[in-house]
Amino acid sequence: MNKNNEQFWSQIIDKVRTWARLNSIWAVHFNSGSCNGCDIEILATLTPRYDVERFGIKLEGSPRHADVLIVTGPVTRQARERLIRTYEQMPEPKFVISVGSCSISGGVFEGCYNVGGSVDEVIPVDVYIPGCPPRPEAIIDGIVQLLASLKGGEPRKMARPANVEEMPA
Amino acid sequence: MNIEQTLKDAEQFLAPWAKELLHPEANRLDVAIQVDDLRAATSALLAAHWGYLSAITGTDLGVEVGQLEALYHFCNGPAITSLRIHLPREIDACLPSIADLIPSASFFERELHEMMGFAFHGLDVSSRLFLPDDWPENVYPHRADFSPDRAAPVAGRRADELPEQGVVGGNTFVIPIGPQHPALKEPGHFEFTVDGEIVTAAKMRLGYAHRGIEKAAESRNWIQNLYLFERICGICSHTHSMAYSLGVERLAQVEAPPRAQAIRELVAGLERVHSHLLWLGVAAHEAGFDTLFMYSWRDRETVMNLLEQITGNRVNYSANVLGGVKCDIGAEQAKAVKEGLTYLETRIRHYLEVVTTDAMFLNRTRGIGTISREEAEKFGLLGPTARASGLSRDVRLEAPYGAYHHFPVSLVMETNGDLEARCVVRLKELLVSCFTMRTIVDNLPEGPLTTRMPRKIPAGETVSRIEAPRGELFYYIKSKGGENPVRVHIRTPSLCNWVSVLEKAVGHQLADVPMLIAGMDPCFSCNDRVVTVNRPSTNETWSWKQLREHGIEYYKR
């Protein structure tokens, strides 16, 4: 009886948590060496034309308060450790969105001496948004996909986009 | 003064030291000098007020030649004088530092030191510029024999060796900011030493966005590089590809058709509007004025729409191709541009009123970070940051390129030199840009969009300077007649303007620092370097208790 009771309440709390999370995603943005193109498009999604605050999404300064880490850019050698530290500072459960071609595959910077490659070689990634840079609509779509997958409980891990290696530099 | 006369003057000033005088292009003078004469030659140009030091290019002439080359580019209007120095290609190829004569040279010299392996007499190179701290010693990425496997991380070192937070020396406290910080949209690391609220020293460490583009360019062909350089910076992507295209076209002795040149200028104008409105929003955000941030970004979408309508892309437009442009302005686009400009002009006028009358915003901008004309000249500032201090530096006027001969812009200048002046200059500049763009759309020359470009670019070297939204953008391009460039050196305007933040932060409140950083419109992805100024030499560690007592004492006063 006691055990059932406990289970009942934990289910209720989980439901409330998911409901709250879905309606107030706080994101922290980390630029790991991008050209700024993706960053300004991410900012554009927050401003009146695209306005992701409709979905309760807010850009948060501190990783300690954030649910989602939005990473742009190929991971440069110097940013790598910082990216891991930022990720580690986030509370569980945490999700990572990798925005832009170069964060997915290195993109145009593939093979540069100071560039490590893709974000998912450094931290686990949940959503990939390709494009150089992706349009704000694409970024919103990526976030909405993340939200949709969260509804079903555990987030669906997106498959790494196919043919990344064959993409022209 | 015409170019010939200007160059003759330079020739005369440099005559005592010149070993060889060349005129590689009509606007360029190339003077080969000895290493020991560098300081004397530089002083001579400075004493005669002949231009300003725009960039220092280092080139490795190859293992067979066994020499390194340093080129000191001085620009005076359209005329460029390059002091050329050859040094044996050894680890300790040593140049005298001219940073005491020209403060901004310290940036250039430190870049040369790290990337090319030049040593400099009298330059502090104790900390890294833009290479990671675990980069091995004596490995220089821009040398011809560099290979990435030689740059394996040094064991036991971190990529960025940053001091721990809150290290106290003397009666000061170090506040680290970045690389991930709400006030920074891009990665950079700053250490502000504060005494109470007042900043007493500033240090910065960049390199988080250093990707090694200049080196990558050497292994890609001329056309691939166009798209690579466009991605140096997502905000001023068109100016980067335009500077590169103009340089390569000059090497190939091809000129883009008039219609293409006009469209290039039009897209550059739209980009300036997008960049400055973006900047206005970010600056307003740093000042806590989020309403203005949202409004300016809303209006920025107008210009984003226009860019998308013309080029098909919102950010990296790829409007340029070598030898012309790939997008045309039809009747529909022309109409849209004119309508958009009309709307933008009313909005920009409104913002001009806001930044000059809003009491709260003025409290954060008026009289803050004032840079006098003399200081601006000394620091080597560029673009709107310089023009706000009454220093008329605008490549579009000094050395018109492309269509700027036919569709000139007028000079916008303020003399106060504070943050308010920098806001006003940028907004007024937009009104001028809007006017010019309207003229272009109304008088677009007829003709083709591209000319034929050779696949291999003839051997030679050229300098391409254009006015990016942030100031003069400098490209040095060298070809050996192959399918790839042998050296491309890029000096972005943000690099020259950083010194304004670091010098001016000292003495200001810490709360003003984000505004000071925003005031120069920095672009981290464009430049990735580091410099230290005014670092206190005290090195005393305080306990938490001592610190607390000091704080209480400080505020009793």
Q: What is the mean pLDDT of residues B108-117?
A: 86
Within 83-112 of A, beta carbons closer than 8 Å to B belong to 86, 102, 107-109, 111-112
Domains annotated for chain B, with CATH where assigned, are: 3-151 (3.30.460.80), 168-210+497-556 (no CATH), 253-491 (1.10.645.10)
CA B167, CA B541: separation in Å to the nearest integer?
Answer: 7
Interface test with A, best of B134, B181, B208 (most A CBs within 10 A): B208
Are the CB atoms for B401 and B466 separated by under 8 Å? yes
Could you say which DSSP state residue B143 is in? S
Any idea which residue has 């400099």 for tokens? B120
Any idea which residue has 């406290």 for tokens? B173
pLDDT of residue B526: 59
Q: Which domain holds residue A117?
A: 24-151
Interface test with B, best of A46, A58, A114, A123 (most B CBs within 10 A): A114
A78 touches chain B (CB under 8 A): yes
B179 pLDDT exceeds 70? yes
pLDDT of residue B169: 62
> Domain of A82: which CATH number?
3.40.50.12280
Mean residue pLDDT of chain A comes to 83
- A36, B151: Cβ pair inside 8 Å? no
Are the CB atoms for A93 and B191 separated by under 8 Å? no
B535 pLDDT exceeds 70? no
Position A163 in a domain: no
pLDDT of residue B533: 35
Question: B161: nearest CA in chain A?
Answer: A78
A28 touches chain B (CB under 8 A): yes
Position A160 in a domain: no
Position A56 in a domain: yes
Count CA atoms closer than 13 A to B109's CA, side-chain side: 23
- The better pLDDT of the pair B312, B531 is held by B312
**Cα dist. B424→B290, B408, B472, B486 in Å?**
19, 21, 19, 42
- B293, A47: Cβ pair inside 8 Å? yes
A5 pLDDT exceeds 90? no
B522 touches chain A (CB under 8 A): no
The C-alpha of A70 sits at a distance from chain B's nearest C-alpha, in angstroms, of: 12
pLDDT confidence band for B548 (50 / 70 / 90): low
Position A97 in a domain: yes
Position A106 in a domain: yes
Sign for the CA dihedral angle at B342, B343, B349, B355 comes to negative
Of A28, A40, A60, the CB nearest to B315: A40
Residue B557: its H or E element: none
Position A14 in a domain: no
CB-count exposure of residue B552 (10 Å: 0-12, 13-18, 19+): exposed
Of A39, A60, A77, the CB nearest to B185: A39
How many CB atoms neighbour CB B370 within 10 A? 16
- A48, B293: Cβ pair inside 8 Å? no
pLDDT digits (tens, 9 = 90+) for B435-480: 999 999 999 999 999 999 988 899 999 999 999 998 999 999 999 9
A120 touches chain B (CB under 8 A): no
pTM of the model: 0.89
Interface test with A, best of B146, B210, B232, B282 (most A CBs within 10 A): B210
A125 pLDDT exceeds 70? yes
Position A156 in a domain: no
Are the CB atoms for B419 and B515 separated by under 8 Å? yes
ω into A93 cis (within 30 of 0): yes
How many domains are contained in chain A?
A: 1
Q: Which residue from B273, B291, B297 is spatially nearest to B437, judged by alpha carbons? A: B273
Position A2 in a domain: no
Q: Which residues of A touch B294 (CB under 8 A)?
A: 47-48
A47 touches chain B (CB under 8 A): yes
Q: What is the mean pLDDT of residues B395-420?
A: 91
A75 touches chain B (CB under 8 A): no
